[in-house]
Amino acid sequence: MRNLLARAAAPTAAAAVLLAACAGCTGDGGGEATVTRGTLTGRLSGSGATFPDPLFQEWMAYYGRHIETGVWIDYQAVGSGGGIEQFLSGTVDFGSSERYLQESELSVADDVRGCPAVQFPVVFGAVVIALNDDALDGLVLTSEVIAQVYDRQVTHYDDPAITALNPDMDLPHEEIAPVHRSDGSGTTYVFTRYLTTEVGFWAEEYAEGTDIDWHADTAGGDGNEGVARAVQESPGGLGYVNQSYALTNDLATARVVNEDGVPVEPTLAATTAASEEAEIPGDFQFNIDDIGGDGYPITGANWILAYACGYDDGTALLLRDFWTWVLTDTEADRFAAELGYAPMGRALKQRVIGEIERIDAL
C-alpha cells in the first residue's frame, strides 16, 4: 500500500482517570476499588480473528512489559470462526471476532455459562483489495466488478469493465488470480457483507458469512497472512486482507468506489470516516454499510467476547484491566494508528468501558 501513512491518534480520555474509575471495578457495577499499577499477576488466553492480530500482539506485549509485568496474555489468531467456537466451548478466557455474536450464539453462551456473554468493539479497520503488481496500485474497482472477479465473470485486468473505471491506466492482458480466506474468517464476513449489501447477484448466489462456498476457480489462503502471501506469490494475484497486512507486506491496493461514487484509497482517515457513519446501538451489534462521503466502503470492527460470570476473581480483574487499558492509554492508540487501524472515539470508548465492567466472577 504505497500511500497509506498511518497518523498518530490524538489522545483520548486520560488513562489514569478512567483506570481509577473502571479498571478495578467489580462486575456488579459497584466498583470503587482501584488497581495499583504493577501489582497484577496472572495469565489470560484468547483466540479469534486474524484481522486485529498484529495490533493485539503489540498491545499485549507492551502491557506485559511496561504496564503489568506480572501478567502474560496469549492470543492465538485462528480466525473469527475458531475464536467464537473456542469462546463458546470455554477453552479460552476471551474470544475475538469481526462480527458480533448472533442470537443463537448468545443463547448458547447463556446456556453454557449460566450468564450472558459480554461483547464490545475495540477497534475499526478496513478490508483492502491487495494486488500482486505494483503498477496496478490505485486501480479503481466497484463492488460489482469485485463480485464479478470472484465469480469469474471478469477474468483479466484489461476487461472492459475494469478499463472503463481506469481510462488512464495501461492495464495488462493478465489473468486475475483471486484469493480468498480458506478458514472461518471475520475478514470474510466484512468482505462478503459488503458485497451482499451492494451486489444483487452476490446476495443471491453467495451471501455473507465467515465461511462461504467460493467459486471453484479461486484459491484459498489460511488467515490474512496466507492470503497476503498467495497474492504476492501468484502472477495476477488479487485478494482481500486487513489493512495492516497490506501495510506490513507493502502491497499495492485498489481504490474502491463508495456509495457516493467516489473512488477511495484505504487510508486510516478513510477508515475513520467510514466508522463515524456507523450507528452503534446499546448492545453493540452493528454493521458498517452504505458508506459515502470520504469513507472507505469495506470497513469493519473487531469485537471482544467475554462473560458476565464464571471467571475467578483474578481473571475477571485482568480482563477488565487490560481491555480498559486498551481503550484509555494513548500508547495503545498510537500502536493502532501506526498499524493502520482506526481507534474509537472518546464517547464510544466510554460506552464500551461500561460494558467491560460487566465482566465478573459471580
Give the model's confidence band at 269: pLDDT under 50 very low, under 70 low, under 90 confident, else very high: very high
Alpha carbon distances (Å) from 216 to 108, 148, 150, 212, 360: 34, 14, 10, 12, 46
Per-residue pLDDT tens digits for 57-67? 999 999 999 99
pLDDT confidence of residue 34: 59
Residues 71 and 88 in one domain: yes
Residues 100 and 237 in one domain: no
**Mean pLDDT to the nearest integer, 298-307:** 97
Residues 314 and 184 in one domain: no
Q: Which residue has the higher pLDDT, 340 or 329?
A: 329
**Mean pLDDT to the nearest integer, 294-300:** 96
pLDDT confidence of residue 247: 87
Q: For residues 144 and 258, give the distance between their C-alpha atoms in angstroms, rounded to a whole number.
A: 11
Residue 295: inside a domain: no
| 21 pLDDT above the threshold of 80 | no
Q: For residues 57 and 283, give the distance between their C-alpha atoms in angstroms, rounded to a whole number.
A: 27
pLDDT confidence of residue 17: 32
CATH code for the domain of 152: 3.40.190.10
Residues 180 and 263 in one domain: yes
| 30 pLDDT above the threshold of 50 | no
Per-residue pLDDT tens digits for 315-330? 999 999 999 999 999 9
Residues 138 and 236 in one domain: yes
Q: What is the mean pLDDT of the chain?
A: 90
| 16 pLDDT above the threshold of 60 | no
Residues 219 and 345 in one domain: no
Residues 242 and 148 in one domain: yes
Boundaries of domain holding 271: 126-275
Domain tally for the chain? Answer: 2
Residues 269 and 184 in one domain: yes
- Give me Rg for the CA atoms of the chain: 20
